[in-house]
């Protein structure tokens, strides 16, 4: 016959290299410890057998060691996983401790405490956690949008770059939105089809693809997109897309194209102005001279006066056209915008009195900031003149200047007749004017000046409800 079962089990337990076993009787005295346990803790049978487990706990650690070596729960039986950390020869080891109830052949309650060395597993877990955290931080730190979805289109990853481009927070998207909601209708399906075509970088790859994404507010956002099929064990599990916001690039391209068109137009305007201005000057001068003749009949004198006025209007149109096509470079120097507003107020004081318009200026203390005083003066004069023309029967013009975050905000509000909604949308369109003899270039030139200052200009109005012009200029360059 073979050896007794008890001896076989003892030899089996002694052979376990990374599992340490301690058996306690109902009095919690040690009745068995396998070889691995004794080697790990540097103890022999004489140090263990018959000793109370609490003595072992006192010798081998602080207050928590009692839970490791001498679990106190009697009924119900002690359960639960605990982690025990020990330092051996300068190295830290981590053990998973579990305790199981057991009865011997006479029915007495025993307790088996099992220690398993999980140092390597813990180290792998920590490394995996660090790697995951690093990947998560890299994904979140990317200025590009990164979106991953499963084969059903459910969004699994939505980084901060995607949030900045599309207006959603990750919490609003992950596990709640389908990826098709981030594109115009049908676009997500088209992109998926192209990923499976070899023509865009290879099968399962989409490279250098320009398309449109859908912002949370409904706006279309031009993006450059790259996408990959995600696989696991050779099986497709999802798609990851990387996309870059093209709005700024598109704006710069349009700006460059506009400047190129203006440069071509400027050359043509310069030639036309040269050819027309001299004859206009002669015509206007002769008309004015003839108008002053005492012998000139009244009706003829009136017609000569109209000729002179029309010549002046044409000269102003040519001047505005030249300013529109040949924008002077902005020369910024630190200045006091409140003082500039008061300067324009003094300059136009007679015009305000003549029209019966009351000007009220409220400017908080604004620090000096860089702007082109000549160009901003031109903008203010133009806006003030428009306001005066909108109040032929008098009224009030309120001007406020204040700092909001990193912007200087100028608000110019009149109590005039207002602007019709269909006209309001075309105010910054070249050559569009609501005035009988307007050139339609004044506001366009103003917008160009403000944009050269990296600012913005906006006009709001209601028919018979007055008009408000808001100008925002950066307090600091950049």
pLDDT tens per residue across span 246-302: 988 888 888 777 766 666 666 666 656 656 766 777 777 777 778 778 777 878 878
- Residue 76's pLDDT is 47
- Residue 272's pLDDT is 66
Is residue 405 within 8 Å of 466, Cβ to Cβ? no
Is residue 99 within 8 Å of 24, Cβ to Cβ? no
Long-range pairs for 228-237 at CB < 8 Å and ≥24 separation?
228/195, 228/204, 229/195, 229/204, 229/205, 230/148, 236/151, 237/150, 237/151
- Residue 350's pLDDT is 85
Only one residue has tokens 């993006």, namely 223
Closest CA to 410 of 343, 361, 347, 348: 361
- Residue 135's pLDDT is 62
In the predicted model, residues of the chain with pLDDT beneath 50 are: 1-3, 74-78
Closest CA to 193 of 156, 229, 220: 229
Residue 319 and residue 277: Cα distance in Å, rounded? 10
- Residue 77's pLDDT is 46
- Residue 466's pLDDT is 86
User: Which CATH architecture best describes the domain 142-245?
Assistant: 2-Layer Sandwich (3.30)
- Residue 398's pLDDT is 92
Q: Do domains 5-122 and 142-245 have the same CATH topology?
A: yes
Q: Is 159 helix (H, G, I), strand (E, B) or coil?
A: coil
Number of H helices, E strands in the chain: 16, 17
Q: Record the tokens describing residue 142, joined without a space.
A: 């990317």
Q: Record the tokens describing residue 238, joined without a space.
A: 């999802």
Contacts of 463 (CB under 8 A, 6+ apart): 417, 418, 419, 420, 421
- Residue 62's pLDDT is 52
Q: Record the tokens describing residue 297, joined without a space.
A: 């009949």
Domain ranges of the chain: 5-122, 142-245, 250-325, 333-474
Which CATH fold would you assign to the domain 5-122? Beta-Lactamase (3.30.450)
β-pairing, 205-214 with 357-363?
Answer: unpaired
β-pairing, 407-414 with 395-404?
Answer: antiparallel
Which CATH fold would you assign to the domain 333-474? Heat Shock Protein 90 (3.30.565)
DSSP code of 17? S
Closest CA to 204 of 188, 212, 192, 213: 192
- Residue 79's pLDDT is 52
- Residue 429's pLDDT is 67
Contacts of 111 (CB under 8 A, 6+ apart): 23, 24, 25, 28, 71, 77, 78, 99, 100, 101, 102
- Residue 470's pLDDT is 92
- Residue 433's pLDDT is 63
CATH 3.30.1760 fits 250-325, yes or no: no
Is residue 165 within 8 Å of 258, Cβ to Cβ? no
Label residue 311 exposed, middle or buried (CB < 10 Å: 0-12, 13-18, 19+).
Answer: buried
DSSP code of 52? B
Find the helix or strand (DSSP H, E) in which 460 lies: strand 456-461
């Amino acid at each position: 016959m073979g050896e007794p079962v008890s001896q076989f089990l003892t030899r089996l337990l002694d052979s376990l290299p990374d599992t340490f076993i301690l058996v306690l009787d109902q009095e919690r005295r040690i009745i068995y410890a396998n070889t691995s346990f004794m080697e790990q803790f540097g103890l022999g049978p004489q140090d263990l057998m018959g000793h109370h487990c609490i003595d072992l706990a006192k010798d081998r650690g602080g207050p928590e060691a009692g839970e490791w070596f001498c679990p106190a729960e009697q009924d119900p039986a002690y359960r639960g996983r605990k982690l025990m950390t020990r330092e051996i020869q300068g190295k830290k080891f981590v053990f998973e401790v579990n305790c199981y109830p057991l009865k011997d052949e006479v029915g007495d309650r025993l307790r088996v405490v099992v220690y398993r060395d999980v140092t390597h597993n813990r180290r792998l877990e920590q490394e995996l956690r660090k790697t995951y955290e690093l990947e998560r931080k890299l994904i979140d730190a990317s200025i590009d949008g990164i979106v991953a979805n499963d084969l059903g289109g459910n969004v699994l990853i939505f980084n901060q770059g995607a949030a900045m481009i599309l207006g959603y927070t990750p919490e609003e998207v992950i596990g709640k939105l389908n990826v098709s909601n981030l594109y115009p209708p049908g676009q997500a399906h088209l992109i998926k089809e192209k990923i499976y075509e070899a023509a865009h970088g290879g099968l399962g790859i989409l490279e250098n693809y320009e398309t449109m994404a859908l912002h949370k507010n409904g706006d279309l956002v031009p993006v450059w997109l790259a996408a990959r099929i995600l696989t696991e064990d050779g099986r497709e599990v999802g798609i990851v897309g990387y996309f870059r916001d093209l709005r700024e690039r598109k704006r710069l391209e349009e700006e460059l194209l506009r400047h190129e068109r203006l440069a071509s137009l400027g050359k043509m305007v310069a030639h036309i102005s040269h050819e027309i201005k001299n004859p206009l000057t002669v015509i206007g001068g002769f008309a004015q001279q003839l108008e002053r003749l005492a012998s000139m009949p009244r009706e003829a004198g009136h017609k000569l006066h109209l000729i002179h006025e029309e010549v002046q209007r044409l000269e102003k149109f040519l001047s505005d056209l030249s300013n529109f096509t040949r924008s002077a470079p902005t020369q910024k120097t630190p200045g006091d915008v409140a003082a500039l507003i008061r300067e324009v107020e003094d300059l136009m004081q007679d015009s305000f009195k003549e029209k019966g318009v009351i000007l009220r200026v409220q400017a908080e203390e604004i620090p000096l900031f860089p702007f082109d005083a000549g160009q901003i003066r031109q903008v203010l004069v133009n806006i003030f003149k428009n306001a005066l023309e909108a109040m032929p029967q008098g009224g009030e013009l309120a001007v406020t200047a204040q700092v909001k975050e990193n912007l200087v905000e100028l608000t110019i509000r009149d109590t005039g007749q207002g602007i019709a909604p269909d006209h309001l949308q075309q105010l910054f369109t070249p050559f569009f004017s609501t005035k009988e003899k307007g050139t339609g270039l004044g506001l366009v030139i103003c917008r160009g000046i403000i944009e050269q200052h990296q600012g913005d200009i906006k006009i709001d109005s209601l028919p018979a409800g007055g008009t408000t012009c808001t100008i925002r200029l950066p307090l600091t360059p950049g």
